[in-house]
Structure 1
Amino acid sequence: MKRERELAKTIIKQVQDSTQELDQEVEEVIRLGKFSEWGNRHMKVRMRSQVAVEEIMTRKGKLAGDTERKDIWIKRDMNLEEREKEKVLRNEAKEKNEKRTEMEKKNFNWRVLDMRLKKWYLWKKEETRN
């Protein structure tokens, strides 16, 4: 469990700003699911304070640019009812994405963010002309 704790602290250090020490707020790290030689399992990280949790959740977007850890993401813990609601929303997003026109596919897709269905606009790099 020491390795998991260190990994959690490393990820938290990456999202905190330079004046914070949120990695010191880690209280407990638990691996979820059955062990498998080939797969990774989710980790549940319990923090000492709600303030630390909220800070981490607001800064979790900093992980998006990390190509080394692109398979790591941070989500809040949800109860069964919340997980079911999110599943319904994900299915609805999938259906809406399948019904988009070709033009719409270039501009946006549907995603579930903060327990709501939202349009996610796609950014395109414009070519610079000389």
Structure 2
Amino acid sequence: MQELDQEVKEMFRLGMGRFSEGGKRPMKVRMRSQVAVEEIMIRKGKLANDTEFQDIWIRDMNWKRGKRRKCEEMKLRKKNKKRQKSEKKIFYWRVLDMRQKEWCLQEEEVMEEARN
């Protein structure tokens, strides 16, 4: 993380109002390079596993990336609909790190679907 600290261009709190102890307001952080943003987006999943950081949400606000992601998601919806019945019990397609990934269902989900 030390090297990513050097990539911060500017950082500020969003929203109106005064500072209040224990208050929560979103922050906007601008990075110097897209490479740093992509590295953070790859690592952000690790925060969910750490109880200390469960309240932290990270979102890439880059408009072009969001538009490209929506386009990829629309393609994958069509691809998911074309799966055969047996494939639907095993996996589905989703966008992860701006790439199409095959997402395997957990064993519990597979067993439950197999019963139905």
TM-score (norm 1): 0.48
- Give the Cα–Cα distance (whole angstroms) in 2 for the partners of residues 85 and 53 of structure 1: 16
Report the counterpart of residue 87 of structure 2 in structure 1: 104
Q: Does 1:115 align with 2:81?
A: no
Q: Does 1:28 align with 2:8?
A: no
Partner SS for 1:96: helix
Q: How many residues align?
A: 97
Q: For the structure 1 residues 118 and 55, does the alpha-carbon distance in structure 2 shift closer, same or farther, using more than 3 Å as the test?
A: closer
Give the root-mean-square deviation of aligned CA atoms.
Answer: 3.7
Structure 1 unaligned blocks of 5 or more: 1-15, 33-40, 126-130
State the 1:77 CA deviation: 3.6
State the 1:42 CA deviation: 6.7
Do the aligned partners of 1:29 and 1:46 also contact (CA within 8 Å) in 2? no
Q: For the structure 1 residues 106 and 77, does the alpha-carbon distance in structure 2 shift closer, same or farther, using more than 3 Å as the test?
A: same
Report the counterpart of residue 46 of structure 2 in structure 1: 62
Based on CA coordinates, which of the two structures has the bigger radius of gyration?
2
Q: For the structure 1 residues 53 and 117, does the alpha-carbon distance in structure 2 shift closer, same or farther, using more than 3 Å as the test?
A: closer
**How many percent identity over aligned positions?**
54
- Give the Cα–Cα distance (whole angstroms) in 1 for the partners of residues 50 and 85 of structure 2: 30
Structure 2 unaligned blocks of 5 or more: 16-24, 109-116
